[in-house]
């Protein structure tokens, strides 16, 4: 069943609908499972993908389109953790098939598209959604249309969307405007929209929450910190964890902590005013182009997740993002794109401010791979030193240092 998050209006699972017909709000899929029906041992001996939790995935099991997404690394990060005085784990979503967490949502979203029998799918994207959709549409044999904000999509993501055969449009405008355009096309039924306004997307992404709980031995961390752009992922993870809680697998819940870039922070602005009313940011700007979003469609769900979990939201500067990206790469060997590093930058800031307490068990979600944005990585480094292919020349530079 599809349900409106605001007025509780209900819709059939197979209705193609993106907003409530009664009140215009966003929708979610109602899933209610109890441990008496599905004991947690059910998940133990299955292949390590998100479909391990298929009982919680509201799609036709015989139609699954998958690239074995999910089951991503869960790395203990002792160096950064000890420096900050917390017990730190990093969930490495860059290890998904196309290099970001979006693959989880696309696997379920494209499975639903196949179930519905649509022939064309589409999205607007700051990059990762389009890369993922292009790959999963290819696998399902569907036509794929993507709209990207001109000049603001990192190179790796653009390469992926193009190479997997999507029809790529470069829009004169930002992500929010591109999304408005493609949504209008979807409402005229020319394509099936697979942005996170489509509630099936979040059903896949909630598996990040499942995996964290499972990995920690059926316990909740104290806090989950992640970057927030369109605000789908924080909503999805909270939904997943709430479902595991309702099923009776866990007793505690984590504080959901959403980090935004200073130049694109409508969710944090609302949190600071302690309101549910998100005011869009007109000209969002940040080096973390993935989260360069001014009007997040899932703001209601995200703010609920933050308030209901006694969580928090804060901003970080571009400089703090790039510093954290480098620290993660240099101290822990984990290469992430700038947006992902907002979680680590946010953790550092919240420790300094005393919001995060010493000894907390914290999971930071790093959402996309370093190679997504090679230009930003290269610009942050000094150039390689040119030498002749000669041991003396090499020694001269290397040993004189």
For ligand AN7, the binding residues (CB under 6 A) are 100, 125-129, 196, 227-233, 290-291, 337, 339-340, 367-368
**Sequence-ordered list of residues with C-beta below 8 angstroms from that of 218, at least 6 positions apart, any chain:** 40, 249, 250
What is the torsional sign of CA 26, 29, 30, 33?
negative
Instruction: Please report how close the Cβ of residue 91 comes to ligand AN7 at its closest, in angstroms.
Output: 12
Instruction: Please report how close the Cβ of residue 266 comes to ligand AN7 at its closest, in angstroms.
Output: 11
Instruction: Please report how close the Cβ of residue 208 comes to ligand AN7 at its closest, in angstroms.
Output: 11
Instruction: Please report how close the Cβ of residue 354 comes to ligand AN7 at its closest, in angstroms.
Output: 26
* DSSP per residue, 287-303: S-GGG--SS-TTHHHHH
Question: In this complex, which beta carbon is closest to ligand AN7, that of residue 87 or of residue 183?
Answer: 183
Instruction: Please report how close the Cβ of residue 135 comes to ligand AN7 at its closest, in angstroms.
Output: 13
Instruction: Please report how close the Cβ of residue 272 comes to ligand AN7 at its closest, in angstroms.
Output: 18
Question: In this complex, which beta carbon is closest to ligand AN7, that of residue 113 or of residue 365?
Answer: 365
Angle at CA of residue 104, ends 99 and 108, nearest 5°: 140
Question: In this complex, which beta carbon is closest to ligand AN7, that of residue 221 or of residue 229?
Answer: 229
Q: Kindly report the number of other CB atoms within 10 A of residue 2's CB atom.
A: 19
Please tell me whether residue 224 adopts helix, strand or coil conformation.
strand
Q: Kindly report the number of other CB atoms within 10 A of residue 180's CB atom.
A: 14
Distances (CA, A) of 149 to 83, 153, 232, 383, 400: 38, 7, 19, 30, 47
Q: Are strands 255-261 and 223-227 parallel, antiparallel or unpaired?
A: parallel
Instruction: Please report how close the Cβ of residue 99 comes to ligand AN7 at its closest, in angstroms.
Output: 9
Question: In this complex, which beta carbon is closest to ligand AN7, that of residue 109 or of residue 127?
Answer: 127
Question: In this complex, which beta carbon is closest to ligand AN7, that of residue 247 or of residue 316?
Answer: 316
Angle at CA of residue 381, ends 377 and 387, nearest 5°: 125
Question: In this complex, which beta carbon is closest to ligand AN7, that of residue 86 or of residue 237?
Answer: 237
Please tell me whether residue 56 adopts helix, strand or coil conformation.
helix
Question: In this complex, which beta carbon is closest to ligand AN7, that of residue 230 or of residue 249?
Answer: 230
Q: Are strands 120-124 and 192-193 parallel, antiparallel or unpaired?
A: parallel
């Amino acid at each position: 069943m599809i349900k409106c998050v605001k007025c509780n209006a209900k819709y059939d699972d197979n209705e193609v609908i993106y907003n409530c017909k009664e009140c215009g709000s966003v929708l979610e899929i109602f899933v209610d499972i109890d441990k008496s029906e599905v004991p947690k041992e059910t998940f133990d001996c299955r292949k390590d993908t998100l479909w391990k939790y298929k009982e919680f995935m509201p799609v036709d099991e015989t139609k699954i389109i998958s690239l074995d997404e999910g089951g991503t690394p869960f790395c203990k990060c002792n160096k950064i953790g000890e420096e900050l005085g917390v017990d730190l784990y990093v969930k490495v979503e860059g290890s998904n098939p196309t290099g970001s967490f979006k693959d989880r949502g696309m696997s379920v979203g494209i499975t639903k598209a196949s179930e519905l029998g649509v022939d064309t799918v589409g999205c607007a994207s700051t990059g990762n959604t389009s890369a993922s959709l292009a790959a999963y549409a290819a696998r399902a044999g569907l036509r794929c249309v993507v709209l990207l904000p001109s000049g603001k999509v990192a190179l790796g993501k653009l390469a992926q969307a193009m190479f997997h055969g999507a029809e790529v449009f470069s829009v004169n405008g930002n992500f929010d405007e591109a999304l408005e355009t493609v949504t209008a096309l979807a409402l005229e039924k020319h394509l099936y929209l697979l942005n996170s306004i489509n509630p099936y997307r979040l059903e896949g992404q909630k598996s990040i929450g499942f995996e964290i709980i499972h990995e920690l031995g059926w316990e909740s961390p104290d806090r989950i910190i992640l970057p927030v752009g369109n605000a789908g992922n924080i909503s999805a993870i909270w939904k997943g964890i709430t479902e595991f809680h309702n099923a009776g697998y866990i007793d505690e819940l984590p504080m959901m902590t959403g980090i935004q870039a200073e130049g694109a922070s409508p969710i944090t602005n609302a949190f600071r005013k302690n309101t549910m009313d998100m005011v869009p940011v007109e000209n969002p700007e940040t080096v973390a182009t993935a989260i360069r979003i001014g009007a997040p469609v899932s703001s209601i769900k995200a703010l609920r997740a933050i308030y209901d979990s006694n969580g928090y939201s804060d901003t970080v500067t571009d400089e703090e993002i790039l510093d954290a990206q480098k620290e993660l790469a240099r101290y822990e060997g984990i290469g992430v794109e700038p947006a992902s590093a907002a979680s680590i930058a946010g953790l550092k800031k919240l420790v300094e401010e005393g919001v995060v307490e010493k000894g907390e068990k914290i999971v930071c979600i790093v959402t996309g791979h370093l190679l997504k944005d090679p230009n930003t990585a290269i610009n942050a480094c000094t150039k390689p030193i040119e030498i002749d292919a000669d041991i003396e020349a090499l020694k001269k530079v290397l040993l004189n240092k």
